[in-house]
Amino acid sequence: MFHKEGFTIILITAVLTVTGVFLTDKFSSNIWLNKLIMLTLIVLLILVLQFFRNPKRKTILNANQIIAPVDGKIVVIEEVVESEYFKDKRRQISIFMSPINVHVTRYPISGKVNFSKYHSGKYLVAWHPKSSTENERTTIVIENNTVGEILYRQIAGALARRIVNYAKKGEEIKQGTDAGFIKFGSRVDVFVPLHMKIKVNLNEIAKGGETVIAEIVK
């Protein structure tokens, strides 16, 4: 299964691949050059297909837990002051996505969207400390009756040039469902209340829609 945001790019790449293979076979008599060109085009198509894949995930709905919104490596777990919306201390959990990761964004918890805003910005590498506040990004706040409000931020990386965000202020959303897409390498920051227990460790690999990253301590 492939994400709808990739349909146009996949189609264009497929057409270019088929056209390139046909023209190479028709006009080039160099066997090794033909093989090299054809192999390059096929590898490019495979990479595009892999990037836009949208695997099904088994999300276990739980109002007490925050799940990873994306696939990737946990690169930050720290207490910070979230200055855009909360303007107080929160626990930040950041997940870095390489170009080979699934780039679908999923809602980390069910609830109501209280805030959704796009910010234009720079394209620093996604692991840069200032990327969270200076890069192109979207900020989304979801209110849940059990947890309260949590914030997640889609951040463009050095290669990313388009962030897709489906969250609209006032709508009710469901944990684990499709929340958007970030094209070509990026990062997502999640800000949770300090009283929540962190369930992941630095450098751990998270699976979007399934890995629990924080939960309420009872």
- 213 pLDDT band, cuts 50/70/90, is very high
pLDDT of residue 64: 94
Q: Which residue has the higher pLDDT, 143 or 24?
A: 143
Regarding whether 189 and 155 lie in a shared domain, the answer is yes
The percentage of the chain sitting over the pLDDT mark of 70, rounded to a whole number, equals 89
In angstroms, the first-to-last Cα distance of the chain is 38
pLDDT of residue 43: 86
CATH of the domain at 197: 2.70.70
Q: What is the pLDDT of residues 143-170, one digit of tens each?
A: 999 999 999 999 886 655 578 899 999 9
Regarding whether 41 and 70 lie in a shared domain, the answer is no
Regarding whether 71 and 43 lie in a shared domain, the answer is no
Regarding whether 109 and 211 lie in a shared domain, the answer is yes
**Position 38: which residue type?**
M
Structural domain including 143 reads 65-216
**At residue 40, what are phi and psi to the nearest 5 degrees?**
-60, -45
pLDDT of residue 185: 61
Regarding whether 109 and 202 lie in a shared domain, the answer is yes
**Position 47: which residue type?**
L
Q: Which residue has the higher pLDDT, 82 or 56?
A: 82
pLDDT of residue 159: 59
Number of domains into which the chain is organized:
2
Q: What is the mean pLDDT of residues 119-124?
A: 72
10 domain residue, yes or no: yes
The angle that helices 31-51 and 7-27 make with each other, rounded to 10 degrees, is 170
Q: What is the pLDDT of residues 81-91, one digit of tens each?
A: 999 999 999 99
Give the active site residue among 110, 131, 132, 186: 186
Regarding whether 47 and 86 lie in a shared domain, the answer is no
172 domain residue, yes or no: yes
In whole numbers, what is the pLDDT of the chain averaged over residues?
Answer: 87
Burial 152-161 (b: 16+ CB within 10 A, else e): bbbbbbbebe
45 domain residue, yes or no: yes
List, in order, residues 6 or more apart from 212 with CB less than 8 Å away. 62, 65, 66, 67, 68, 199, 200
Q: What is the mean pLDDT of residues 72-78?
A: 95
DSSP reduced 3-state for 81: strand
Q: Residue 197 pLDDT more than 80?
A: yes
158 domain residue, yes or no: yes
Distance separating alpha carbons of residues 188 and 102, to the nearest angstrom: 13
**At residue 54, what are phi and psi to the nearest 5 degrees?**
-135, 75
Q: What is the pLDDT of residues 122-139, one digit of tens each?
A: 666 655 566 566 678 899
Regarding whether 79 and 42 lie in a shared domain, the answer is no
Helix (H) / strand (E) element for 65: namely strand 65-67
pLDDT of residue 163: 83
DSSP reduced 3-state for 39: helix
Examine the residue annotation and report whether 94 is marked as an active-site residue of this protein: no
Cβ count near 69 (within 10 Å): 30
Cβ count near 3 (within 10 Å): 20
Look up residue 162 and give its two tokens: 């388009």
46 domain residue, yes or no: yes
Regarding whether 42 and 70 lie in a shared domain, the answer is no
pLDDT of residue 35: 82
36 domain residue, yes or no: yes
Regarding whether 136 and 33 lie in a shared domain, the answer is no
**Position 191: which residue type?**
F
112 domain residue, yes or no: yes
Q: What is the mean pLDDT of residues 70-88?
A: 94
59 domain residue, yes or no: no
